[in-house]
Chain A
C-alpha cells in the first residue's frame, strides 16, 4: 500500500476509536452498559442491526459470489422482511414488556432456569467461536493480499475495537456503527463508480448488465426446480430463500443476543419496530447492489486481463512446489490466451478462447488442491480488483471499509457475549453485587471475550479451513432448535419447561445426525433447511411430550 493509503486507513480507524470513546460515556450500571439506558432512536437501531449483521466477509465475499455464481445469492435474504414483521408482532413487545437484558431471560420467566441456561450456553459457544472466525476470515484475506503478518492483522481486526467496546458498552457500539456504516456505504459507492468509470467507452451500466446476463450472472431469480424435480441441495433459490431464509432470519434476529441487544436499546416498542421494519425494507436492495458490484467487476475483466487465480499468495505456494515448472509454462499460455480473448471480443473465435481460459484456471485449482493449498479464490476477487486498479487513497479507504465492517459486527457481539455471561450466568448463579461492581465485571467480561475471539481467530488460521467450515455449520445446527424453543414460548402456552427441554435435546441430536447424513451425501439437504427442521421439530415434539406428560400425570392422579 502507498503512503496516502496508509494515512487514510490509520486516520479512519483512529477516528472511529476516538468517536467511540467520546460518545460512549454512560451510566455505570448494567442498563447503561448493555442497553444504552434504553434511549436509542429508531434510525440508530436500524444502523446497529445492519452493522451487526454485515461483517467484513459480507463486503468481500458477496461481489466475488456474484462474479463466480451470479446474483442468485440475493434470494438468501427474501425471508428477512417477513421475519421482521413476525418479530415486530410477537418478540419485540414481549421483550420490552419484561424489561429484560438478554433474550434468554425471557425463557426462564416462560419455562424454567435449565431452558434459559441451555440456550444461553449454546449462544455463548456458537457466537464466541464464530466471532473468532469473523476476525480470522478477513485477516487471512488481507494478510495474503497485502503481505501483512497474520498475528498483527488478527490483533488489529479484533483487538482495537475492544478499547471503545469495553469502555462505552452498547452506547459506544451504537454510535460507532452509525459512523462506520456511513463510511462503508460511501466507500462501496465510490468503488462502484470507479468500476463503471474504468469500463471502455460505450460500455455503461446497461451494457454491463447485458454482458453479465449473457454469462449467466443475472440469475437473480431461480426456482431450484429442474426436470428431476426440486433440488433440496440447491442453496440459493426462491423457495429456500423465502422459507429457509425466513426461519434463519427469525432465529438470528429474534433469538441471537447480538441482534436482540441492538433493538432492546431502543426508546420504546415503536422505535424497535421501526428499526426492524426499515431493515426489512432496505436489506434486500442493499444486498442486490453489493452483488451488482460483483457483476460490474466481472464485466470489467471481460476487457482487461483476469488473473489466472485471484489469491496471489497461493500462486506463490504453487511456484515453490513440484508444479513450479508447469506453472511457468501454463502462465505464459494463459497470458497469450487472455490477450487473444480481449482482442477477439465479439468475434466468432471468442467461445473457444473462453473455454481454453477456463481450462487453465481449472488446472491451477487442481494443482492447488493437490498440494493442500486453498483452491477457492472467490473472497479475493473484489479486493484484488481494488488493490490493482483503484487510485491511491481509495485503496486505503476500501481496506478501512473492511476493518470497519468487521469492527461493527464484532463490537456488538462482544457486548452481547458479555451481557449473557453476566446476566444469565454470573448474576444468576452467584451472590448479589453492587451496581458499580456489576459494571466493572461487565467491562472485564467484554475484555475476556475480546481476547478469547482473537485467540480463536489465530487458532483458526493455524488449523486452516477445517475449523472455519466446522464453525459455519455450527450456527445452522443450533439456530433452528433455539428458534423452536422461542416459538413454543410465544405460541404454545400449554407446553412446559421439561417438555421443551427434552424435545430441544432430542431434536438437536437429530439435526446433528441429519447434518452427518447430508455431508456424506446420503440425504441431499442444504444447510438453510436445517433451521426449518430444527424449529418445526421442537414445536411438534414438545407438544407430543407435553401430551404424554399430562396423560401420565392425570393417570397418576386417578
Chain B
C-alpha cells in the first residue's frame, strides 16, 4: 500500500480493509440469495 492510502482514513470503519470485506461479503450473500431463488422458483 502507498503512503497516501495509509494517511487517508476510511469513513465509518477507520480501515479500508473492512470496506473491502463488506463488498466481498455482500457479493457472497447475494449469490447465495440468488441460488435460493433459483432453487425455489425453478
Contacts and interface: CB of A to CB of B under 8 A. Distances in A.
Interface of A: 74, 78, 81-82, 84-85, 88-89, 93-94, 96-97, 209-210, 212-214, 216, 218-221, 238, 268-270, 273-274, 277, 280-281, 284-285, 288
Contacts of B5: 89, 93, 269
Contacts of A93: 1-2, 4-5
A81 B42 contact: no
Contact of B37 (A84, A96, A218): A218
A81 B24 contact: yes
Chain B residues touching A, majority SS = helix
A284 B11 contact: no
Interface in B1-42: 1-2, 4-5, 8-11, 16, 19-20, 22-24, 26-27, 30-31, 34-35, 37-38, 40-42
Contacts of A269: 4-5, 8
Interface of B: 1-2, 4-5, 8-11, 16, 19-20, 22-24, 26-27, 30-31, 34-35, 37-38, 40-42
Among B10, B22, B30, residue most surrounded by chain A Cβ atoms (within 10 Å): B30
Contacts of A280: 23, 27
Contacts of B22: 277, 281
Q: Which 4 A-B pairs have the closest CB atoms?
A: A213-B41, A220-B34, A218-B41, A280-B23
Given A82-B24, A213-B42, A221 B31 contact: yes
A74 B34 contact: yes
A269 B2 CA distance: 11
Contacts of A221: 31, 34-35, 38
A85 B23 contact: yes
Given A81-B27, A85-B24, A274-B11, A97 B2 contact: yes
Chain A residues touching B, majority SS = helix
A274 B24 CA distance: 14
A260 B31 CA distance: 28
Contacts of A89: 1, 5, 16, 20
A326 to B, nearest CB: 37
Nearest to B6: A93
Contacts of B4: 93, 96-97, 269
A402 B2 CA distance: 42
A221 B42 CA distance: 11
Contacts of A82: 24, 27
Contacts of B31: 78, 221, 238
A84 B1 contact: no
A219 B42 contact: yes
Contacts of B37: 209, 218, 220
B3 to A, nearest CB: 9
Given A88-B20, A93-B4, 15 more contacts: A78-B31, A81-B23, A85-B23, A89-B16, A89-B20, A93-B2, A97-B4, A213-B41, A213-B42, A220-B37, A221-B31, A221-B38, A273-B10, A273-B16, A288-B34
A88 to B, nearest CB: 7
Contacts of B8: 268-270
Nearest to B23: A280
A284 B27 contact: yes
